[in-house]
Structure 1
Amino acid sequence: MDNELTPRALEIAACARALLVGGGYNSFSYADISASVQISKASIHHHFPSKAELVRTVLLRYREEARTGLAALVQHVPEPLAQLEAYTGYWATCMRDATSSFCICAMLAAELPTLPREVADEVRGHFLDLAAWLASVLAAGAAQRVFFLQTSPEGEAMAFMATVHGAMLSARAYGDPEVFAATVQPLMRRLTSP
């Protein structure tokens, strides 16, 4: 997908991504990007005729990065418990060093009723992708007797996502990235306790 975007369009998309993480869809305008990237609003419109198109592009790239990252995780980390630990560890590290302190799609899910349809569809798609991956990891771990599920892998995947995204919210609310790990650790203990 990156080869479809010019270097300037990539710069605009990166700025939009940072603004989305910081405050969601309705928190920024092309004027904010213009000031940050030092480009006219007309030039931004040349690359992305609408804000919805810009955000959809950011989300398409984000979803591809997530799918690639999860596939690489499965390939390099064969144990289901280690996969979940690596996934939550990724977010804990991002929050500590402020590289990406929040899942863009989790942020946008809160705004879903007000989002343009094409943006909302990408947000839902991310949640479906992540839920499917988590369910497969949880099912594999249950089959290996590493995880002790209280419901179906799909149900546990939904609870896992809700906990991780809630932990992100809590860490942001408290202004303390360590709240994330403290919130997620009990879930990991529950999954591994017979």
Structure 2
Amino acid sequence: MQGETADRILQTAKTLIANLGYAGFSYADIAEAVQIRKASIHHHFPTKANLVVAVLKAHREGLLQATQFLTQKTDDPLARLQAYVQHWEGCIRDNSQPFCIAALLAAELPGLPEEVRAEVHEYFLVLSEWIRQTLEAGVEKRTLKLQGTPEDEAQTFMATVHGAMLSARALGSCDVFQAVTTSALQRISLRKS
């Protein structure tokens, strides 16, 4: 199923989701952007839900690859969390991916098809598990301090990062994202700034 056309459809859909949400785009928008007929999109992705599920699966796979890379790259859990935050800061600053599409779709959850809701849920489970493991590693290495359980702190950190994305978008300022996430990292760090 994955060919050049399917990849272009997926990339275009991801951009449209990030900019407009689930209900804000149609196959006509994709057809115009990719310069293909709507029937070609239906050939690769029979329904909009199929398409969005494929986009979310690719987004989750990218997350898995990135978090595995960070975990292998550095033995420092705080540096891993900083790199995660810096990734999003860069995406917001250069407008390449100004918002996590899973977070954006989570805001639309009640109105989404079941299969899309399931993929959003899976993304958050994967991300929170990586954050939890990273936090636990930081406690073991005595570089991070937690006020609650690792599970609760992982949810707090994840919500803070996604909330900072929302504030940055609403206020049109990446500086807001940077200030909020820097504060979140300082809160859990045992290192002196």
Equivalent of 2:83 in 82, 86, 89: 86
Q: Does 1:77 align with 2:68?
A: no
Pairing of 1:58-137 with structure 2 (within 5 A): 58-137=55-134
Q: 4+ residue stretches of structure 1 with deviation over 2 A?
A: none
Distance 2:56 2:160 in 1: 22
2:9 is matched with 12
Contact 2:168 2:174 in 1 (8 A): yes
Q: Does 1:55 align with 2:89?
A: no
Pairing of 1:144-163 with structure 2 (within 5 A): 144-163=141-160
Equivalent of 2:188 in 182, 186, 191: 191
Q: Which amino acid is 1:178 matched to? A: D
Equivalent of 1:168 in 165, 175, 187: 165
- Secondary structure at 1:5 match in 2: coil
Aligned length: 191
Q: Which amino acid is 1:71 matched to? A: Q
TM-score of the pair, normalised by structure 1: 0.96
Distance 1:47 1:73 in 2: 33
Q: Structure 1, unaligned stretches of length 5 or more?
A: none
Distance 1:148 1:44 in 2: 49
TM-score of the pair, normalised by structure 2: 0.96
Distance 2:157 2:79 in 1: 15
